[in-house]
């Protein structure tokens, strides 16, 4: 597969790339029981696969805050309160946030001035606790659609069942 998809990625290429990433993640994590190792591996695989991913990382729930976990990209905010920004909203509402234009999202936390759009998916444990969120930011407007959402939600559901 073309590693790091080119900017003009089609929906079909997107699906194929996500399927390839899913296969690689499954194989890499087959015998891995450690949650940090799993997050680091997922972030690496996703970030390398798509050119429109400019910041890819997990925030972990610690108390009533999200604290930075494994990521790739420039510096992310270290702590985000539940309910704040896109990440805090996803955690508080326990629901994926797809933001095509970050400037139109009230309270968006601009850790990088180049970010134009993002998707944040919560990771729920088997008991239904929010273990954290997967945050992906793009320097392109409206970079994420339902294909991204479906794949990333499936991935986070699997991670929550396995490591939660
Ligand atoms: N996009 C996030 C902030 C986190 S960092 O920029 C990586 C938000 O508004 O929640």
Pocket flag, ligand 1, residue 54 (CB < 6 Å): no
| CA dist list (Å): 111 to 6, 27, 80, 156, 163 | 25, 33, 11, 23, 28
Sign of the CA dihedral with 13 first, then 59, 83, and 73 last:
negative
Q: List the domain boundaries for the chain.
A: 11-163
Question: pLDDT tens digits for 54-99?
Answer: 999 999 999 999 999 999 999 989 999 999 999 999 999 999 999 9
Query: What is the longest distance spanned by two Cα atoms in the chain?
Result: 42
Residue 1's pLDDT is 43
Q: How many CB atoms lie within 10 A of CB 69?
A: 20
Q: Which residues of the chain are under the pLDDT cut of 70? A: 1-7
Query: Beta strand pairing status for 130-138 and 117-124?
Result: antiparallel
pTM to 2 decimals?
0.94
Among 86, 99, 134, 138, which residue has the most ligand 1 atoms within 8 Å of its CB, making it the best to mutate? 86
Q: What is the pLDDT of residue 7?
A: 62
CATH number given to 11-163: 3.30.450.40
Quote the DSSP letter at residue 54: -
Would you state the pLDDT for residue 89? 97
């Amino acid at each position: 597969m073309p590693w790091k998809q080119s900017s003009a990625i089609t929906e079909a290429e997107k699906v194929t790339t996500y399927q390839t990433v899913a296969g690689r993640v499954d194989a890499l994590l087959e015998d891995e029981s450690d949650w940090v190792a799993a997050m680091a591996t997922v972030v690496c695989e996703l970030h390398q696969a798509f050119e429109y991913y400019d910041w890819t990382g997990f925030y972990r729930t610690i108390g009533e805050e999200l604290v930075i976990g494994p990521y790739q990209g420039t510096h992310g905010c270290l702590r985000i309160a539940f309910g704040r920004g896109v990440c805090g909203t996803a955690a508080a509402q326990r629901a994926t946030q797809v933001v095509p234009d970050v400037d139109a999202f009230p309270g968006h936390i601009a850790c990088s001035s180049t970010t134009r759009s993002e998707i944040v998916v919560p990771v729920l444990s088997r008991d239904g606790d929010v273990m954290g969120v997967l945050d992906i930011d793009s320097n392109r407007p409206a970079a994420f659609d339902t294909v991204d959402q479906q794949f990333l939600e499936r991935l986070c559901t699997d991670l929550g069942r396995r490591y939660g």
